[in-house]
Amino acid sequence: MPPKKVPIYCLVHGDPEVSVFGIKYDKNTTVDDLRKVIWKEEVEVPEHVKAKDLTLYQVDIDLNTQNPQRTALTDPNANIANDLGGQLLMPTRKVEAIFTTAPADNHIHIIVEVPDATNRGSANEEMRNDIKEMKKDIKDMKKEKSEVNISSVNYESWERIQSYLGLDYEAMTDLDIELTTERTNAFQWSDLTERAQRDGEQGYLNHLRTLLQIATFRGLGLCDATNETSLLSTGNDILPIKLSDTTDVAIVDMHSIALQMPEKHIRILFELKKAIVKADTYQVMAELITADLKSIYSVLAVLTDLNDDWRFYWLEEGRIKALKLPRDSAVALIKHNMSLADQELDQQEAEIEEPLPKRMKLKHIVAPNVSSDIAPMEDFFDTMTEEEIFKYKTKRMLTQFFSQPIFNDIQKKLPLQADAENNGLD
């Protein structure tokens, strides 16, 4: 290799002139080679700043005399081109072609511009801290998410659940099914509360056993759900509202009662009211949702006064469907479904008729957020830069943060946000 030329002297922009350093070069040295040597041996930079991030300028600043360019060296805000006379050097140029004559002694020949790493690092660190705070806020919101007793579910609470699940509501007038009805008796309520009239020969449990002829169904049992105080309770992350409590009565698989896991085998639930009001409809629909989430079966929910008001609710085709029947027809419909369930449990060889009304599981109605055919983004992290990974995580974090219910009202006011369709009850 030919002997190296006399060194060219360099200074990092903003550093005092006593920090000047020399770099030797040969005829094959390029500006890119020069900045690699500077990055590797002469300049301390943060880890994320690479050689390619350095920018080199050719200058000719005489250190033998006092001059405007030398004075401007002490100003970290000085403009390299205007105040120091710098000319940008392209990485592909050869140093020898730039310095066609020997560089002057006691002159600065190259100004090195290092990216504003301190500020950029601080900005990234500040963003990371903000994300940590947002994560903490989300966790706190989940922890502080109000727990609503199912019996207290009102219109606002139900709207949040319905919007979260994307469910519509449809009132039915009848079912395409022929039922064999029998004359049935109404329950005689007293002045006591509903649950105070649960037990005894005149209680509603005994009335339902008789009305539904529960003893004739070998595989089914009538569960006093009031003793299962968390039968329909949900966790923090299942629905936008944490629900707690139970229902009044449930028809379940007989074996689940003995195993003390009736919530996993709910087929029909009953919410009993002495007199039904509109608020009760939100309660029973919330019970339908939580029961469906827990049970392995598609659930039929019944809201009734055990007299002449019998209302049925079930899930089908992205909707909560509702139907009101007179007492004799309602009892016949319930017994019809119980008979089909009993046949299923008996595992009869004959083809089992589909229960009516036709019902679906919530998990088959609500579409998942991510297709199972699409690989998670984390699978591609090994092919992404640190900056791309950081941006992806930031975007995902912000999306999660602003999807919290607390931002619903804000989003509705945005001029570019389409008005959500009101799918509530009329």
Angle at 250 between CA 245 and CA 252, to 5 degrees: 120
In one-letter notation, the amino acid at residue 300 is L
Q: Distance (Å, rounded) from C-alpha 368 to C-alpha 17?
A: 63
Residue 328 near residue 181, CB atoms below 8 Å: yes
* Top mean-pLDDT range of 48-57, 121-130, 350-359: 48-57
Pick the CATH number of 8-113 from 3.40.50.2300, 3.10.20.90, 3.90.1150.10, 3.40.50.12280: 3.10.20.90
Q: Distance (Å, rounded) from C-alpha 289 to C-alpha 301?
A: 10
| Mean pLDDT calculated for residue range 216-237 | 90
Give the residue extent of every domain in the chain: 8-113, 145-365
Q: Distance (Å, rounded) from C-alpha 264 to C-alpha 83?
A: 78
DSSP state letter for 26:
-
For residue 72, the model assigns a pLDDT of 92
Torsion of CA 168, 169, 175, 179, to 10 degrees: 120
> If we measure between CA atoms, which residue out of 288, 343, 284 comes closest to residue 309?
284
Overall residue count recorded for the chain in this entry: 426
Tens of pLDDT, residue by residue over 263-309, are: 999 999 999 999 999 999 999 999 999 999 999 999 999 999 999 99
Averaged pLDDT of the chain? 83
Q: How confident is the model at residue 397 (pLDDT cuts 50, 70, 90)?
A: low
SS3 of 13, please? coil
Element (H or E) spanning 327, and its range? helix 327-346
CA-based diameter of the chain, in Å? 117
**What is the SS3 string spanning 36-47?**
HHHHHHHCCCCC
Rounded to whole angstroms, what are the CA distances from 230 to 162, 202, 254, 296, 318?
A: 22, 27, 19, 17, 27
Percent of the chain at pLDDT > 70 equals 78
Q: Distance (Å, rounded) from C-alpha 162 to C-alpha 54?
A: 56
Give the strand order in the sheet containing 55-62: 21-23, 8-12, 107-113, 55-62, 87-88
Q: Read off the tokens for 201.
A: 């020969």
- Residue 421 pLDDT exceeds 50: no
